[in-house]
């Protein structure tokens, strides 16, 4: 329903909210904006705070509460001093419940993928060596790639492997190939188990610039340890743009979430 609100000489249509009780005004406003957003009404542009104040006849504080919830839900992007805009859907959606392949996920999305190799060498790293159950001075193979989906960066990928196993990878071309494919072909090692810890984080200024990450977007920080026949073979840290990548999971009343089925192999991933 709409009414009219006098503003000097002008009268503007006002969308009515229930002021007699029920949900708070900001909640009603948020729900109505979601309805309008999903109907495609804001495909061209999302209204600013002052426009919503006039349109709904509410305070700016109420509008900001509603917009804050829309931002939290990932439906809009609102930067300080700029008009809100509808958030774009992530281009790459990765189901959880499998030890997945970023390489394959990008190509299945229809986007061409390639990598810029920033480092491929042997080095010592006591902290990572300990995570691989190795002595701190043992050399490791280090591979760092900036991974692209289409014309834009998607992820910054850093991986360490024991040099004694992985040294043949120094001859590989990682601009358009999977690490695990190269590992299997050049060393005969197939990873069969892995663990990942995933969390949201704000990238450093250098990482944000490297990934062309928007100023309002967070990233996924993904730490993976991969093993072969119960031996730690890989420690990896990948930073993935949160505005281009999403994780999804399936669940049921009988089985709950299926996140790490023991029968799923890690081969061909990443």
User: What digits encode the pLDDT tens for the residues 240-249?
Assistant: 888 887 766 6
The whole-number pLDDT of residue 52 equals: 93
Q: Residues in the chain, how many?
A: 270
What would you report as the CA-atom Rg of the chain, rounded to the nearest whole angstrom?
24
> Where do runs of H (alpha helix) occur along 222-267?
none
Q: How far apart are alpha carbons 132 and 69 in whole angstroms? A: 42
Domains identified in the chain and CATH numbers: 2-86 (1.10.10.10), 92-257 (3.40.1410.10)
Q: What's the sign of the alpha-carbon dihedral 199, 180, 176, 90? A: negative
Residue 254 confidence (pLDDT): 66
Query: What pLDDT score does 269 carry?
Result: 40
pTM of model > 0.85: no
- Under DSSP, the state recorded for 203 is P
In angstroms, the CA 192 to CA 226 distance is 8
């Amino acid at each position: 329903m709409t009414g009219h609100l006098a503003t000097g000489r002008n009268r503007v249509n006002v969308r009515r909210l229930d002021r007699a009780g029920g949900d708070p005004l900001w909640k009603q406003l948020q729900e109505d904006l979601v309805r309008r957003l999903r109907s495609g009404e804001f495909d061209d542009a999302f209204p600013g705070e002052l426009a919503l104040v006039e349109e709904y006849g509410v305070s700016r504080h109420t509008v900001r509460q509603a917009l804050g919830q829309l931002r939290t839900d990932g439906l809009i992007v609102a930067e300080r001093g700029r008009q809100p805009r509808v958030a774009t859907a992530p281009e790459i959606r990765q189901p959880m419940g499998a030890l997945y392949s970023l390489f394959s996920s990008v190509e299945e999305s229809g986007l061409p993928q390639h990598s810029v190799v920033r480092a491929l060498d042997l080095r010592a790293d006591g902290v990572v060596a300990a995570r691989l159950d190795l002595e701190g001075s043992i050399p490791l193979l280090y591979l760092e790639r900036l991974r692209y989906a289409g014309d834009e960066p998607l992820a910054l990928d850093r991986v360490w492997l024991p040099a004694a196993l992985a040294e043949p990878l120094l001859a590989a071309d990682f601009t358009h190939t999977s690490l695990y494919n190269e590992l299997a072909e050049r060393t005969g090692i197939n990873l069969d188990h892995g663990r990942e810890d995933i969390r949201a984080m704000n990238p450093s200024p250098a990482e944000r610039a490297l990934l062309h990450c928007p100023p309002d977007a967070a990233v996924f920080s993904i730490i993976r340890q991969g093993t072969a026949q119960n031996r730690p073979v890989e420690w990896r840290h990948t930073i993935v743009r949160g505005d281009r990548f999403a994780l999804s999971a399936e669940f049921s009343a009988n089985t709950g979430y299926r996140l790490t089925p023991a029968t799923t192999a890690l081969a061909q991933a990443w």
